Structure 1
């Protein structure tokens, strides 16, 4: 009888945990928050259309054409997904409009923030990468360059009063590092060497945070990287004949361990930074944890457990990774049942669920205790 009681108790405890992770508060008032604008930095995980506006930017994942954007926008927007990205869900949770890409010069509004993320962007400057023989796209806009865009944008949009805007803003810095590591590992750099890059990348992220703090930012979200070993492109590029190299979901343990190492070092650095700037709210965005929770509760969330590590859009093969384009593409009929979209990026629905974890964790830490009609965290 006692064991039966404990079993039922554990079941209900599990339901509560899932609810906290994936469901929303439905309060009508957003209290003590006062976030009136949002600024996003990053790579293709966060790009809302900058790369497709850079002359000569040619990349294998053709986000300027369908099937990118097919699910939510019903047209390509430059986002590397079938629909929305995490930045869109964060904006919705804060009752802000989707951010326009900084490179959009068509007269769109930047009154409530801007997106500076660019697909292919690295944390490190080109000189760092070239000294180590790491490839990068010729149009690379690394983190330091995005910061220059940011400062120029603040001056041109808000003038001398930009610090007031930043006090009422949220800055999302990243994720960064994913492109640096992928370019190095896919370029056959040995993992022990790539591991030596981690302190440099963490230092680059911390330096950028200090810079936005000095400009006046008081709330900063700093995401970690995804579990690389669960991405279809990693699974294709680094396939292993040893079945013990894979975990229960079919992810490569070695590359997940590498991502975990980066995230642990980032969290340590952020803790030190909080001591240095105690009045600034600096929150770690657990993209890795959100991703893994989606895998753990995949069936309950509506994902197909048999295709967790397969890309919805690709050119075939075991994981259908690579070559997501209008010319020769295998696109799944139900992207909402997939986590991987094109091999390195995720579906609208996967971003939706990961965003719930990140947003529910960050809002109380930023002093936000209610959500105003947030579609990002509802409809379950």
Structure 2
């Protein structure tokens, strides 16, 4: 997620009642995986989603990810990633022995030797439906790939058959819904509509010829610094996280149905981002004290009107940055550091690679 607009969503989301959840309570395993996949060795990765996967598609004029101090750990300067360094897709690609896919926006500048690894269509601030971002939503991103395949300019249908699809949407649909005046009583049905449309998008990706479609479960939004700042970054908001469990529970059901309808347990699967986020933040999964204050971001605006990377009219820095991003789980109000993503990926890696 991106921008101060998320605060509107989280503030209202805290009021969501547990009664909206199946059985009146959240399941700690709501983001469980789908069926076991046969061994697959992808040669390419096609990425769709928002700032949790964007590696450079958001325009420089609209994105903090192109401002100092983003990118200080990798590649050493701002490069369009919403972090100080590498993010999930970079770690996944490396684990598969591939290069991180080229951002769609920079396709015409990329040599063929890099295009062979796939393409990243993710765009910061977007979602399943139209959001507060002007970037392409998930359906439009899928159409971008379809157009490239149909005109045969970059990829072929054979390329898709040897590729993995990764989809991450981190909650911008809900931010936009409430910011546009959506009511709290209609929020649970809206969550249902988001997941239903997400399932349609996943099916469209598979129908194009991609044999493996991975979708990320929603991370614990109640642990984002934008909400935990209210208690000095000491505790996650359980009500927000219960509502996240509702989303993830519906996603689990949707993915199970997609696999059932395709008569296969190997087409779609969930990447459970929720559980490792919780484990790392609770210091139960990393086995050390790497993140002494895991809910506190490394980079933070000096006041509510500023964010990481902000400067005033004179160009003076209006944010504070920690001295060691490696010791912080969160980079800014919404996104993990490279160290944070690495801690999450280490908990995912064995099971995830076994399913691909």
What TM-score do the two structures reach when normalised by structure 2?
0.79
1:282 aligns with 2:268: yes
Residue of structure 2 equivalent to 1:7: none
Q: SS where residue 141 of structure 2 aligns?
A: helix
1:33 aligns with 2:40: yes
Residue of structure 2 equivalent to 1:374: none
- Cα RMSD of the aligned pairs, angstroms, is 2.5
Q: SS where residue 192 of structure 1 aligns?
A: coil
1:268 aligns with 2:264: no
Shift of 1:284: 0.5
Q: SS where residue 121 of structure 1 aligns?
A: coil
| Cα separation, 2, equivalents of 1:202 and 1:347 | 27
| Cα separation, 2, equivalents of 1:271 and 1:226 | 20
Q: SS where residue 146 of structure 1 aligns?
A: helix
* Residue in structure 1 matching 2:135, options 140, 144, 158: 140
Structure 2: gaps (5+ residues): 1-37, 312-317
Shift of 1:203: 1.2
Residue of structure 2 equivalent to 1:122: 127
Change over 3 Å in CA distance of 1:282–1:32 after alignment to 2: closer
1:110 aligns with 2:96: no
| Cα separation, 2, equivalents of 1:204 and 1:110 | 29
Residue of structure 2 equivalent to 1:362: 352
Q: How big is each residue's C-alpha offset from its partner over 1:284-329, in whole Å with a ceiling of 9 and x where there is no partner? A: 1111111011112267344333x22111101146xx9951015212
Structure 1: gaps (5+ residues): 1-30, 127-134, 367-380
| Cα separation, 1, equivalents of 2:105 and 2:328 | 31
Change over 3 Å in CA distance of 1:357–1:283 after alignment to 2: farther
Shift of 1:157: 5.2
| Cα separation, 1, equivalents of 2:58 and 2:288 | 32
1:50 aligns with 2:57: yes
1:251 aligns with 2:236: yes
Change over 3 Å in CA distance of 1:346–1:79 after alignment to 2: same
Shift of 1:168: 1.2
* Residue in structure 2 matching 1:155, options 134, 146, 150: 150
Does the aligned pair in 1 maintain the 2:52–2:170 contact within 8 Å?
Answer: no
Q: SS where residue 103 of structure 1 aligns?
A: helix
Change over 3 Å in CA distance of 1:332–1:321 after alignment to 2: farther
- Which structure has the larger Rg over C-alpha atoms? 1
1:1-380 to 2 correspondence within 5 Å? 32-52=39-59, 57-59=61-63, 62-104=64-106, 105-108=108-111, 109-124=114-129, 126=130, 136-137=132-133, 139-156=134-151, 162-174=156-168, 176=169, 178-185=171-178, 189-236=182-229, 239=230, 250-279=235-264, 280-297=266-283, 300-305=287-292, 307-316=293-302, 323-325=307-309, 327=311, 328-366=318-356
Change over 3 Å in CA distance of 1:37–1:326 after alignment to 2: same
Shift of 1:194: 2.3
| Cα separation, 1, equivalents of 2:164 and 2:137 | 20
Q: How big is each residue's C-alpha offset from its partner over 1:125-153, in whole Å with a ceiling of 9 and x where there is no partner? A: x3xxxxxxxx612x231111101111122
Shift of 1:183: 3.1
Change over 3 Å in CA distance of 1:121–1:301 after alignment to 2: farther
| Cα separation, 2, equivalents of 1:283 and 1:321 | 39
Shift of 1:199: 1.2
- Worse-matched range after superposition: 64-73 or 31-40: 31-40
Does the aligned pair in 2 maintain the 1:294–1:353 contact within 8 Å?
Answer: yes
Shift of 1:88: 0.4
Does the aligned pair in 2 maintain the 1:71–1:82 contact within 8 Å?
Answer: yes
Q: SS where residue 45 of structure 2 aligns?
A: strand
Q: SS where residue 172 of structure 1 aligns?
A: strand
Q: How big is each residue's C-alpha offset from its partner over 1:176-229, in whole Å with a ceiling of 9 and x where there is no partner? A: 251112334566755433222111111111111111111111111110111001
Shift of 1:282: 1.3
How many residues are treated as equivalent by the alignment?
308
